[in-house]
Structure 1
Amino acid sequence: MNQTGTGPAHKLHEENRTARMLLEILNKEQAQLVAADVDALTALTEEKNQLVARMSELAAERHAALTAAGFEATEQGMQAWLDSLQPPTARQSWKELLEIAQAAKEINRSNGMLIGKHLARNQNALNVLKGGPQGQTLYGPNGQSAVTPAGRGLVIG
């Protein structure tokens, strides 16, 4: 089995490093979501997208190497390949990568929930500005108040 060069473990160290960087970005993203700092989120999103793209490239390379080594291009295939190694040199790196991926998945899930809360809050604010669910608007197209007084008019005289 090929353990160096183009083998499945060849770029495992880089996958781990990239996954750690992604986890760090997800943690920063979560902090910015809590702080509602849209400008910081925009910058983090670009960096996150680049890291996700790199992780996809590295996983595709690992899958190709697994297939070339005669194993299935899956997590189970990677485990079978690792089990075939003597000595088990790459097992710890793979274990770390799986742990990082699980942590990133959980943080990403939490971030999605935070985004959902922000969206709901913004939708509620828009509903208030539009006058609530009845479809009434507080402001007309000219920016002036469009609210008409409710109740009876005052009759004098």
Structure 2
Amino acid sequence: MSTIGTKLLANLNHEQQAIDQLVELIKHEQETLVAANIEAIDSITKQKANLIAKLADQANKRHLILAAANYQADDTGMQTWIEQNNAREVNEAWQALIQQVKTAKLLNQTNSLLVNTHLARTQNALNILHGSNKSGSVYGPNGQTSSSTKARPIVSG
């Protein structure tokens, strides 16, 4: 394998380690969200930010390696280098990285939906506490939903 191939493979291995850690952390975040342990999310968010910064640094290093070899410093350049050098081992590492990035994105999208669900529930609870329940789910004296019923705030603020 060429020097460029060796450098790329080493860099891809570092990227793979970081993305694997990120996927595990996102899975942990999902478990935390499902358990509604919202207090733990801040710590997880900081860890995610550090791993994402590490991934960005590794991607920049990969781009510099490609640019030094006169290839486009992006994913297209990576694919071109692989094809022109018939680098099976580098290609396998590259494809594994791409797949794990897709996994991380899907998990993160799910977590985003969970966060939005928690936010909606919290907002509804706050609306009720502040007496601004405008959902029409208040029943009037006749047992029918009534949107004209004025709610009194439970807590004055």
Query: With structure 2 as the length reference, what TM-score do the two structures score?
Result: 0.81
Residues 99 and 129 of structure 1, relative CA distance in 2, 3 Å threshold: same
Q: CA deviation at 1:135?
A: 8.0
Quick one: distance in 2 between partners of 1:31 and 1:87? 39
* Structure 2 counterparts to residues 145-156 of structure 1, below 5 A: none
Please say which of residues 68-77 and 50-59 is displaced more in the overlay. Answer: 68-77
Measured on the aligned residues, the alpha-carbon RMSD in Å equals 1.7
Quick one: distance in 2 between partners of 1:29 and 1:129? 29
Q: Which has the higher helix share?
A: 2
Q: CA deviation at 1:69?
A: 1.2
Quick one: distance in 1 between partners of 2:124 and 2:89? 54
Greater Rg by CA: 1
Quick one: distance in 2 between partners of 1:9 and 1:135? 64
Aligned partner of 2:5 in structure 1 is 3
Kept in 1, the 8 Å contact 2:66–2:77? The answer is yes
Q: How many residues align?
A: 139
Aligned partner of 2:62 in structure 1 is 62
Aligned partner of 2:141 in structure 1 is none
Kept in 2, the 8 Å contact 1:29–1:44? The answer is yes
Quick one: distance in 2 between partners of 1:87 and 1:12? 13
Q: CA deviation at 1:137?
A: 2.3
Aligned partner of 1:85 in structure 2 is 85
Aligned partner of 1:130 in structure 2 is 130
Identity %: 32
Report Cα offsets for 1:79-100 as digits up to 9, x if no partner: 1111122442211110100000
- Note the residue ranges of structure 2 that are not aligned, 5 or more in a row: 135-149
Kept in 2, the 8 Å contact 1:19–1:97? The answer is yes
Amino acid at match of 1:137: P
Q: CA deviation at 1:138?
A: 2.1
Q: CA deviation at 1:136?
A: 4.9
Aligned partner of 1:39 in structure 2 is 39
Local SS of the residue matching 1:89 = helix
Query: With structure 1 as the length reference, what TM-score do the two structures score?
Result: 0.81
Report Cα offsets for 1:17-46 as digits up to 9, x if no partner: 110000000000011011111232222222
- Note the residue ranges of structure 1 that are not aligned, 5 or more in a row: 142-157
